[in-house]
Amino acid sequence: MNVKENIKTLIVNKPLKLDCGQTINEFPLAYETYGSLNKDKNNAILVFHALTGDQFVTGKNPITNKDGWWSYAVGPNKSIDTNKYFVICANVIGGCMGSFGPSHKNPKTNKSYGTDFPVITINDIVNAQINLLDHFGIRKLFSVVGGSMGGMQVLQFVSNFPDKTKTAVPIACTASHSAQNIAFNELGRQAITADHNWSEGEYSSNNTIPDKGLAVARMAAHITYLSKKGLQEKFGRKLQERDDLKFGFDADFQIESYLRYQGSVFVDRFDANSYLYITRAMDYFDLAKQFKGNLSNAFIKTNAKFFVVSFTSDWLYPTQENKDIVIALNAIGANVGFVEIESDKGHDSFLLDVPDFLSALKNFLDQSYKE
Amino acid sequence: MKLEFKIIANLLEENTRILDVGCDDGTLMEFLKKNKNVDIRGIEISKKKVQVCISKGLTVLEGNAEFDLKQFPENSFDYVILGQTLQAFVNPEIVIKELLRVGKKAIVTIPNFGHWKVRLNLLTKGTMPVTKTLPNDWYNTPNIHMCTIKDFVKFSKTINFKIYKSLALMNKNVSNINNSNLSFKNLFAELGIFLIEK
């Protein structure tokens, strides 16, 4: 079976001018929807995925056969209730789940684009997705919601299309990638490009993949998604299927084995070049800079109601960076609520079963929908 | 304390922007939203209470008024309400100044430490007063800067703000406080409600 049969794709006919200067035409945007659009077309929520996510938000992902990445939050009667709302999620451009990305064939060379793919930004990613509104005939979304890189897209979306959504929920994110964020992404990119199999990005012609490099990138990133306390509680110094240290470099500790596993399953589902491109887009993200250093100006045209959420143990996009968004919004009298959720689960909290978060999200959406 | 809310509501004009500082579980915000045509936001330090506010559909920020009012520009709100929390701040002076920077007007309510029951309690028992409105012991009370109605009036002169209207709540009755009845109200009012300006 061709996996692509399970992927809904919109071919975007409108040319999209990218921040790098290039223009892309007739490009595919893969998406998935959940729930149904009501008659007034005012119950749609555009969900944005994070770095390694995809359009398969909930239910079984038909490609990986695993649960969707936000199954805890999205579904019937869940925080984003698909009995009530029409949920749309697109694979970001630059991604590897059907949207226009570096693994697509370049018609000029008949080979994958690889590093000939244009460098894209969060702005480009969001500008590509606005086409979904026209596609469904939606004039105004009920909400835009996303965590991590998804949260950055929320901010960029509201800034670019101030009257296209009633509410906006940026979760565990930042308005500007910090030096530490860039550093971790660079570590991942270096791991990929140092893998001999990467071959300057042309690995698909060689029928290989830089799996070792991509796995290391994932392992390093995965550590940043967890908290020290969470790791300690889950793994501590527990040994992996052995009674004592083996005095070698095998995975003695459970945490080593866990990370190796995370790395190995990741390479089966994710493209190394996509990883380079999407992390670059995150690093280039600086919404304040787009408005001459004044973040408030990014939101000055919108009447959207915001709800900003952070997590106590998230050190990748810590509370203060989320609060900076709140401060920028308050400086212009925007309608913004904010809560920091208590959780030991680190940055990944927004993806996991964190009841306080899930109920806050549900309450905000359901109450706002009534207004 | 419904009466306190009604008094506050009566002090507010319609079609105004309001910030409730220390909005607790949002009871006052809900009351005002229902009874007045106002645009109201809240700020609350307790995560749990912020969650409750969100479940009521209220726009609330988790934050500490002592630090987080800074983010609001001057005159962001027509009114800033501070209900029975001034005494809990480390620096009430800064808080009052911040209220009057952020809001054109502020409504401050204070549990009156000059009330006769409080005085009697201290006089007869010789220990820090524990009453219905002040139920904590001295070592675990959040109320670290208790004051009387008289203290607050004096405070307005010291740090230079105008008391536009001052009301006393005693035995479920509301009355005006003025210079001539100040000592009397200071002895019998449970709560002082002040509308203040820069």
The CATH class of the B2-111+140-197 domain is: alpha beta
Between chains, do B62 and A340 touch, taking CB under 8 Å as contact? yes
Question: Looking at residue A4, what is its pLDDT?
Answer: 63
Q: Burial-class residue B145 by CB neighbours within 10 Å (0-12, 13-18, 19+).
A: middle
Residue whose pair of structure tokens reads 């999620």 in the numeric block: A89
Query: A211 an active-site residue?
Result: no
CA distance B51 to chain A (A): 6
Residue B65 · residue B21 · CB < 8 Å: yes
Same domain assignment for residues A289 and A232: no
Residues of chain B found within 8 Å of residue A367, distances taken between Cβ atoms: 54-57
Same domain assignment for residues A20 and A133: yes
Helix axes A355-370, B47-55, angle to 10 degrees: 30
Same domain assignment for residues A170 and A126: yes
Same domain assignment for residues A256 and A187: yes
pLDDT tens for the 198 residues of chain B, in order: 589 999 999 999 999 999 999 999 999 999 999 999 999 999 999 999 999 999 999 999 999 988 899 999 999 999 999 999 999 999 999 999 999 999 999 999 999 999 999 999 999 999 999 887 778 999 999 999 999 999 999 999 999 999 999 999 998 999 999 999 999 999 999 999 999 999
Residue A2: pLDDT band (50, 70, 90) is very low
Domain final residue, candidates A279, A312, A345: A279
Question: Looking at residue B34, what is its pLDDT?
Answer: 94
Same domain assignment for residues A60 and A26: yes
Residue A1: pLDDT band (50, 70, 90) is very low
Between chains, do A360 and B54 touch, taking CB under 8 Å as contact? yes
Between chains, do A336 and B59 touch, taking CB under 8 Å as contact? yes
Note the ipTM here: 0.89
Weakest mean pLDDT among A63-67, A120-124, A336-340, B173-177: A63-67
Q: A249: domain CATH number?
A: 1.10.1740.110
Query: A135 an active-site residue?
Result: no
Same domain assignment for residues A219 and A170: no
Question: Looking at residue B131, what is its pLDDT?
Answer: 82
Question: Looking at residue A69, what is its pLDDT?
Answer: 98
Q: A108: domain CATH number?
A: 3.40.50.1820
Interface of A with B (CB under 8 A): 305, 307, 326-327, 330-331, 333, 335-342, 356, 359-360, 363-364, 367-368, 370-371
Domain final residue, candidates A258, A279, A300: A279
Q: Is the pLDDT of residue A132 over 90?
A: yes
Pairing outcome for strands B191-197 and B103-111? antiparallel
Gap between the Cα atoms of B176 and B166, Å rounded: 6
* Domain, as residue range, for A235: 182-279
Query: A314 an active-site residue?
Result: yes
Q: Is the pLDDT of residue A273 over 60?
A: yes
Chain segment A226-246, per-residue pLDDT in tens: 999 999 999 999 999 999 999
Q: Of A326, A339, A370, which has the smallest distance from its Cβ to B54's Cβ?
A: A339
Q: Of B56, B62, B76, which has the smallest distance from its Cβ to A339's Cβ?
A: B62
Region A185-205 average pLDDT: 97
Question: Looking at residue A3, what is its pLDDT?
Answer: 53
Domain final residue, candidates A279, A312, A342: A279
DSSP codes, chain B: -HHHHHHHHHHSPSS-EEEEET-TTSHHHHHHHHHS--EEEEEES-HHHHHHHHHTT-EEEE--HHHHGGGSPTT-EEEEEEES-GGGSS-HHHHHHHHHHHEEEEEEEEE-TTSHHHHHHHHHH-S----SSS-S-TTT-S--S---HHHHHHHHHHTT-EEEEEEEEETTEEEE--TTTHHHHHHH-SEEEEEEE-
Q: Of B58, B62, B73, which has the smallest distance from its Cβ to A338's Cβ?
A: B62
**Total domain count for chain A?**
2
Same domain assignment for residues A215 and A136: no
Same domain assignment for residues A136 and A25: yes
